Structure 1
Amino acid sequence: MPINTRNIILEKSLSFALSIINFCEELEQHKKFVISHQLLKSGTSIGANINEAQNSESRVDFIHKFKIAAKEAEETKYWLLLCQKAPSYPYEEQLLHDLSDILRLINSIINSAKKSVQS
């Protein structure tokens, strides 16, 4: 029986990045270029850092890359909250829900990796 090789965080972060790209295109249609640019950078950077962590040089490097992904996720959350609160901006509630799931996974992975370093 083959081992399940699915990597949920990689799948979720890639799917999220694609959703961010689509949402940023919508923002640009509304001429919200500054927020669109910032959100595109931070929202796609989450998955980029998670992917980079897959080939980290050490457990400490792995944790570091996931911490960067967590910071990018927090920045992304900020831009999405601005869109939510600004009346003239489009907003997609599902993006914050998906991001919340990703943040939980990232923090769980960081905590597990830290425990294995300390052991």
Structure 2
Amino acid sequence: MKSDSGVVDLKRRTMAFAVRIVKLYGALPKTTAAQVISKQLLRSGTSVGAHYREGMRARSAAEFISKIEGGLQELEETDYWVELLVEAEIVHPDRLADLRKEINELTAILVTCAKNAKQKAK
């Protein structure tokens, strides 16, 4: 697991990510397609931080790994919905470039957390 400052930083970062997702949800067009996609995006994007927080309260290494990997799955799903918004020409790619960068960075961080936990559990 991470040091206390790393935990606080990732806790804040995943919360900031969720806030960005909520704001994106609110800014999307009110077309049927955009609204269907946005609800999926809202669910997956806001659950990343919840998985991380649950992982920090895990009672075992296996539970921690499971929660972190759940967060990774949600990040992957979020990236899919963001990509779909671009491919369906609902949102211009430039508008989502920073969000996609954050998805990639959070993914790298959580992958490292899971790998480190698996090594320690051996």
Q: TM-score, normalised by structure 1?
A: 0.89
Give 1:9 deviation, angstroms: 2.0
The aligned residue for residue 83 of structure 1 is 85
What is the DSSP-based 3-state SS (H/G/I as helix, E as strand, rest coil) of the residue aligned with 2:76?
Answer: helix
Over aligned residue pairs, what C-alpha RMSD do you find?
1.5
Give structure 2 stretches of 5+ with no counterpart: none
Deviations 1:64-102 (A, max 9, x none): 000100000100010011112112x12421110011100
Query: Which structure shows the higher helix fraction?
Result: 2
CA distance in 1, matches of 2:47, 2:4: 26
1:108 to 90, 107, 112: 112
Give identity over the alignment, percent. 28
Q: 1:54 aligned to 2:67?
A: no
Give the aligned length: 114
Aligned residue type for 1:75: E
- Residues 1:4 and 1:51: Cα distance change in structure 2 (over 3 Å): closer
- Between the aligned partners of 2:73 and 2:48, the Cα distance in structure 1 is 8
Runs of 4+ in 1 over 6 A off after TM superposition: none
